[in-house]
Amino acid sequence: MTVRRGPVALAVLLLILLPLAVSTDRFLTLANARAILASAALVGITAIGATLVMIAGSAVSMAASQTATLVAMVFLWTLSHGLLVATLLGLLTGVVVTVVQGLVVGYWEANPIVLTIAAGFAIGGGSVWFSGGTPVAAAGGGYQVLNATVLGLPLAVYVLLALAVLAQWMLRRTTAGRQMYLVGENRAAARAAGLPVGRVIAVAWAFSGLCLALTGVFLAAFNTSATTNLAGPLTLDAIAAVLLGGTAIAGGKGSALRTLGGAVLIAVIADVLLLRGYSTGIQILVKGVLVLGVVVLVHLRRRR
């Protein structure tokens, strides 16, 4: 009999988490559920893109926060030309900046982690140069529509759901998506089989850039101005969500829907700890330990 450790681990986690959550004051309220989804939205959107990058075997991008911040600045700065132009230019910035890294990783096989650390600092330096070190204010109106709530939930939540479904469909039903699994599973074999390895990886990064840019646009609309540390711990939170969803960092395995679950799980845990009065430090610590546990489990399962 084969024991599937993933569902067992999830059940154990829920058994621990549920009583803690339910017994927490103000956890079981509609307002809190909304707050959880809203806080999961931005991390989730970035994490969906990061899932594709990880499945295609390029591990993680350490430049997410800086990219989203740069996009937010471009978006706010170009709002004087209207919402549509600003959004398109923001998305273009995110995709171009990210796909350049994807090309270097895809075609030259550069180490993605070290490369994106470098890229993160380059983009961060670029956004300081762009903004002159002062907050970038909205150059026009119209962005308020992005903060609208539909049926009590912010627009970003719907975008997250749509992106998760789109990514899942792409991964399971399109050639490009299935090639991402093959390339991530074994790059040398994929190349030997004649797959366009570089292009497959670049497409995954382009999609990730699009997701990062959407995160940046929503961040900008929500904060109405952008400082250089606007996105905060986005990079690590997104990585944590992808890993908690059980995607293997070595590639070839994972799902966008499970990343969605990972993002919600992180938001729930942060929410419970916050309501129970734990500090930010403890929240980050718990997140890290949990991710470590899931990484160990995923790997043990992969080995058998």
Q: Point out which residues bind another protein (CB under 8 A).
A: 59-60, 62, 104, 107-111, 113-115, 117-122, 124-126, 128-129, 133, 236, 239-240, 243, 249-250, 279-289, 291-292, 295-296, 299-300, 303
Q: Quick one: CA dihedral 62, 68, 70, 71, positive or negative? A: positive
Cα 265 from Cα 246, distance rounded (Å): 12
Placement of tokens 């990061």 in the chain: 50
Rounded distance between C-alpha atoms, residue 31 and residue 27, angstroms? 9
Do the beta carbons of residue 64 and residue 45 sit within 8 Å?
no
246: left (phi over 0), alpha (psi -120 to 50) or beta: left
CB proximity list for 263: less than 8 A, separation 6 or greater: 40, 43, 44, 47, 160, 241, 245
